[in-house]
């Protein structure tokens, strides 16, 4: 049985947006983040978003435009230093920012995708990171219990995809995309090139189409 193409348009994606939704996003300083989807989120007027990813890019790049336009209620990230507007809103009490060590963040998202109850880590023990978290002692070593993260939607940026949703990323733009693809109820990838099924060598597939719900060809309305 053939598998239908998962291709949609930016405007069709809007039906999946709603106020207060949580969004996992790929990217590192905006590299590997789907700019077109971010612009569509902004144009849709959706608000009170929770953004979950490594960082909030720059004020005018990637998810940074959503922060700059006050569409975001909460950010869960490893750092915010490249986007001064995120820091300003946090200090002003306009934005809730939860800073999570980068490795811990990746593992929490991975746990969310794998159906695990959490991860044990020594990172953050004895610091403000442990506030409000359960601790366990195993073999004389203290660990924090870090709970899994999932989201309503994951937005990805891929270089190439086939019609079944198998994705190939471009070099370092892969970054957080594969892990966030596993931990959301709806997964959409913005792609630079869309090819027929079978044209991508299976050995090159970095995110399998089985977890990708929709594809958008970059810049095509």
Domains of the chain, with CATH numbers? 10-116+148-217 (3.40.1080.10)
Order of strands, edge to edge, in the sheet holding 119-121?
119-121, 141-146, 135-138
Count CB-CB contacts under 10 A for residue 150: 18
Residue pair 18/46 in contact by the 8 Å Cβ criterion: yes
The predicted structure's pLDDT at residue 128? 87
Residue pair 194/170 in contact by the 8 Å Cβ criterion: no
Residue 193 sits at φ, ψ, to 5 deg, of: -140, 135
Residue pair 149/119 in contact by the 8 Å Cβ criterion: no
The predicted structure's pLDDT at residue 62? 94
pLDDT tens sequence across 77-116: 999 999 999 999 999 999 999 999 999 999 999 999 999 9
The predicted structure's pLDDT at residue 44? 97
Place of tokens 């947006």: 17
pLDDT tens sequence across 23-42: 999 999 999 999 999 999 99
Q: Which of 90, 104, 11, 18 is nearest to 54 (CA)?
A: 104
Tens-binned pLDDT, residue by residue, of the chain (221 aa): 445 679 999 999 999 999 999 999 999 999 999 999 999 999 999 999 999 999 999 999 999 999 999 999 999 999 999 999 999 999 999 999 999 999 999 999 999 999 999 999 999 999 988 988 999 999 999 999 999 999 999 999 999 999 999 999 999 999 999 999 999 999 999 999 999 999 999 999 999 999 999 999 997 65
Q: pTM, whole model, 2 decimals? A: 0.93
Residue pair 144/19 in contact by the 8 Å Cβ criterion: no
């Amino acid at each position: 049985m053939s598998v239908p193409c998962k291709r949609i348009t930016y405007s069709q994606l809007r039906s999946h947006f709603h106020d207060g939704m949580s969004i996992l996003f790929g990217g590192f300083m905006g590299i590997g983040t789907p700019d077109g989807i971010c612009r569509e989120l902004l144009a849709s007027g959706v608000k009170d978003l929770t953004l979950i990813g490594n960082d909030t890019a720059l004020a005018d790049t990637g998810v940074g435009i959503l922060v700059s336009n006050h569409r975001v209620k909460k950010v869960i990230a490893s750092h915010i230093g490249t986007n001064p507007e995120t820091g300003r809103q946090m200090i002003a009490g306009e934005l809730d920012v939860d800073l999570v060590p980068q490795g811990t963040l990746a593992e929490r998202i991975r746990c969310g995708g794998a159906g695990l109850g959490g991860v044990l880590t020594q990172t953050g023990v004895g610091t403000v990171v442990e506030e409000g978290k359960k601790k366990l002692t195993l073999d004389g070593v203290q660990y924090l219990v870090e709970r899994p993260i999932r989201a309503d939607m994951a937005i990805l940026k891929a270089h190439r995809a086939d019609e079944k949703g198998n994705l190939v990323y471009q070099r370092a733009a892969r970054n957080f995309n594969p892990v966030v693809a596993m931990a959301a109820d709806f997964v959409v990838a913005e792609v630079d090139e869309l090819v027929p099924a079978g044209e991508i060598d299976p050995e090159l597939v970095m995110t399998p189409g089985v977890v990708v719900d929709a594809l958008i060809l970059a810049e095509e309305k």
